[in-house]
Amino acid sequence: MTILRAAPVALLLALLAFAVLGPITNMLIWSVAETWYFPAKLPQSYGFSFWERVFRPQGNAMVSLWNSVVIALFTVLASMVVAVPAGLALGRGRLPWRSFFLLLFLLPQAFPSIAVHMNIARIFYGLGLNGTYVGVVLVHTIQGLVFSVWIATAAFAAVNRELEEAAANMGASPFTVFRTVTLPLALPGLMASAIFVFLISLDEFTGTFFVGVPDITTLPLLLFTASMEGNYQIASITALILLIPSVGFMLFIERFLKSDVLAKIGS
C-alpha cells in the first residue's frame, strides 16, 4: 500500500529532478570543461583554467563581486523603504485611481531598456550621480520596484482583517496593530520580494553600464559579455559565483523570518 502510494510520488520527483537539475548539471560540467566538442557526449578533458582566467588578479572579479553584493543589499533596503508604505496604501488604503497606480509600476519592464537608461544617465550626469553607488542603487531600485510594490500590495491585501479588528478592539493603537499583527502576517510576502529584488540587482547589466561605468563595475559587467557570446565555461562560472550571495541571502532571510516572525506571532 505505502509502496503503491510512494511510487508515483517518487516518479514525479525523479522527473522534476531531471528537469530542474539537468540543466544545472550541464552548467557544473561546463564550468570545468576544457575541451568538449562533437561527437563526445562528455568533455574530453577537464580542468580549472577558466576559473583561473576569471579570478586572475588583473581581472578584478573579487572587487566586482563585492560591489555587486553591496549594491544589491542597498537596493533591497531602498526598495523596502518605498515599497512597504506603498504596498500598505495600495493593498489596504482608500486610493483613487488605485488600479492605474499599480499599472504604472508595470511600465519599467515593457520598454527597450537601452532607450530609458540612456535618458536616466542623461539626468544623472546632470545631477552628478553618474559613477556613484547611490546612482546605481537608484537605477536597480527602479528595476525592482514592480516586484516590490506588487508583492507588498498582495501581501498586505491578504492579511486577515478580523485579526486586526480584534487587536484594535483590545485597545491597541493603529501603529501597534500594524507592528504586531499586519506586518508579521505580511512578512513572508515582503521577504520573498526582498529576495527577488536582490536577484534582480545582482543580475542587472544595462543600467549599471549607463550609470556606474567607468567608476563602478559589477560582476555582470565583467562577465556577461562572455556569457552572451557563448563562452559556456565563463557563463557557468559566473552563475556559480552569483549563486553564493543569492543562496546566502535567501538563507539569511529565511532564518530571520523563522526566528523573528514566529516569535512575534506567538506572543
Partner 1 sequence: MLTRKTSLILTAPAMALLGLLFLLPLGYSLVWAFRDEELGGWGLQNFIKAFGLYSRDILFTLIIVTLSTVIIGVLSIAISGYLTLGENRVAQAALRWMYRWPLFIPFVVAAQLMRTFLAKNGMMNNIIVSTGLMDQMHAVSYLDWRGIIITFVWKQTPFVALLLAGAMSSLDRSTIEAARNLGAHRFRILLEILVPQAATTLMVGLILSYVVMMSVLSVPLMINAQSPTMITVDMAWRINAYSDYGVANALGFISYAMTAVIAWIYLRQGVREGRRPA
Partner 2 sequence: MTHKTANLFASAAVALFAAGAAPAEGVLNVVSGGSQNMVDYVTDYLGPLFEERNPGWKVNVVGTGPGNAGSQAILEKIKAQAGNDKWDTDVVVMTQLKTGEMVTEGLLQKYVDDIETGKLATRDTARTALGTDVEGFVMPMFHSQTAIAYNPDVVANPPASLDELKTWTAENKGAFGYNGIKNGMSGVAFTAAWMYAYAGNTEQLINGPYDPALKNGWDQALADLKAFNENVTFTPGNAGTLDMMNRGEIVMGPVWVDMFYTWQADGRLNPNLKLLLPEPGMPGQPYYYAIPAKAEDADAARSFIALATSPEVQAEGIVKRFNWYPGIDAEHLEGSLESEVWDKLFTDVTPEELAAKGKPFPLGPYFDDMREAYELKVTN
Query: Residue 45: beta bridge partners?
Result: 35
Q: Comparing C-alpha atoms, which of 119, 232, 249, 255 is closest to residue 194?
A: 249
Q: What is the Cα–Cα distance from 250 to 70, expressed in whole angstroms?
A: 15
- DSSP, collapsed to helix, strand or coil, labels residue 33 as strand
- First-last CA distance in the chain: 42
Q: What are phi and psi of 205, to 5 degrees?
A: -125, -60
Q: Least separation, in Å, of the C-beta of 69 and partner 1?
A: 14
Q: Least separation, in Å, of the C-beta of 52 and partner 1?
A: 20
Determine if residue 131 is left, alpha or beta; phi over 0 gives left, psi from -120 to 50 gives alpha, anything else beta. Answer: left
Question: Binding mask 39-68 vs partner 2 (x if CB under 8 A, - otherwise)?
Answer: x---xxx----x--x--x-xx------xx-
Footprint on residues 200-219 left by partner 1 (CB under 8 A)? 202-203
Smaller CB separation from partner 2, 163 or 217: 217
Binds partner 1 by CB under 8 A, chosen from 54, 72, 86, 221: 86
Binds partner 1 by CB under 8 A, chosen from 7, 15, 77, 103: 103
Q: Least separation, in Å, of the C-beta of 66 and partner 1?
A: 18
Under the binding rule (CB under 8 A), the answer on residue 72 touching partner 1 is no
Q: Where are the alpha helices (DSSP H) in 32-171?
A: 49-54, 61-92, 98-104, 107-110, 113-127, 133-157, 161-169
Question: Is the separation of the CB atoms in 200 and 143 below 8 Å?
Answer: yes
Q: Comparing C-alpha atoms, which of 263, 266, 267, 257 is closest to residue 155?
A: 257
Cis peptide before 108 (omega within 30 of 0): no
Binds partner 1 by CB under 8 A, chosen from 50, 74, 150, 209: 150
Under the binding rule (CB under 8 A), the answer on residue 34 touching partner 2 is yes
Q: Least separation, in Å, of the C-beta of 150 and partner 1?
A: 5
Residue 82, contacted partner among partner 1, partner 2, none, CB below 5-8 A by kind: partner 1
Residue 72, contacted partner among partner 2, partner 1, none, CB below 5-8 A by kind: none
Q: How many other β-carbons are positioned within 10 Å of the β-carbon of residue 29?
A: 15
Under the binding rule (CB under 8 A), the answer on residue 25 touching partner 2 is no
Under the binding rule (CB under 8 A), the answer on residue 67 touching partner 1 is no
Under the binding rule (CB under 8 A), the answer on residue 210 touching partner 2 is yes
Q: Quick one: DSSP state of residue 230? A: T
Question: Binding mask 161-190 vs partner 1 (x if CB under 8 A, - otherwise)?
Answer: ---x---------x----------x--xx-
Under the binding rule (CB under 8 A), the answer on residue 251 touching partner 1 is no
151: cell is 508583492
Q: Least separation, in Å, of the C-beta of 176 and partner 2?
A: 19
Residue 32, contacted partner among partner 1, partner 2, none, CB below 5-8 A by kind: none
Footprint on residues 163-202 left by partner 2 (CB under 8 A)? none
Total site size for partner 2, rule CB under 8 A: 54
156: cell is 498586505
